[in-house]
Structure 1
């Protein structure tokens, strides 16, 4: 059936719940997983409260540390379930492109992701990452709600 899942996470409760469910699916399917998180680069002009209060270096350290924590949680979940897991952290303004490209480059045969994450107003204005992945991916996408 499926042998390699890509599981993108952003730290939102829905995303982390989807990751846990996808890990169980991978265990049952005998599949390996790649867990991906995309760190948004620092921007001078932003509506993100985290970036308004932080200097570039501080933001970058905090963002990378937060991403590392998310990936460590995914690795713990994989170990608990006996699922082979690799983790990837990428910096980009276009998470959907990174998701689609990572799935292709790593030979994933399924992307398993949450229906929406923590993108808030930006998701309403620009469209959700999930919708963009569904639109652009040649790999099947399983969406958790």
Structure 2
């Protein structure tokens, strides 16, 4: 079975992604891995808060786990039954590329967030970095 990596960072996965998955995954027999990367900056910020926001990595994982479980249920209700969920901590683009390459994935499916050229130049985007650094093919869906 072929493997597709789908990094998601919010509960609001665009309808275009769901439509693409419904059309593409069954005919190609893909296992879909839903990945949420908890930014290492969020973990560091919580550690440096000196007890004011005493949030542990597990506390950050709970909302991620709920989000992934919800989307997994949505996919299964649409007939996409081979779904795996994964939560990792790190710099998002680097972590996505590392997981894709070390996990023998065949394709990465990502969304843009409509970021303009000027904003992308200043801060970069996770999708842009993954496209330019991954040896695994990336399918980008414009949001």
CA RMSD of aligned residues (A): 2.9
Q: TM-score, normalised by structure 2?
A: 0.76
Is the CA contact 2:5–2:109 (under 8 Å) kept in the aligned structure 1? yes
1:20 has 2:51 as partner: no
Runs of 4+ in 1 over 3 A off after TM superposition: 15-19, 122-125
Take 2:11 and 2:122, find their aligned partners in 1: how far apart are those partners? 19
**Against the structure 1 CA distance between its residues 57 and 143, is the aligned structure 2 distance closer, same or farther, given a 3 Å change threshold?**
same
Is the CA contact 2:34–2:68 (under 8 Å) kept in the aligned structure 1? yes
Give the corresponding residue for 2:88. 90
Q: TM-score, normalised by structure 1?
A: 0.75
Give the corresponding residue for 2:73. 76
Q: How many pairs were matched up?
A: 131
Is the CA contact 2:37–2:88 (under 8 Å) kept in the aligned structure 1? yes
Q: Which has the larger radius of gyration?
A: 2
Alpha-carbon deviation of 1:129? 0.2
Alignment of 1:24-35 (within 5 A): 24=22, 25-35=24-34
Structure 1: which 5+ residue stretches go unaligned?
A: 46-50
Structure 2: which 5+ residue stretches go unaligned?
A: none
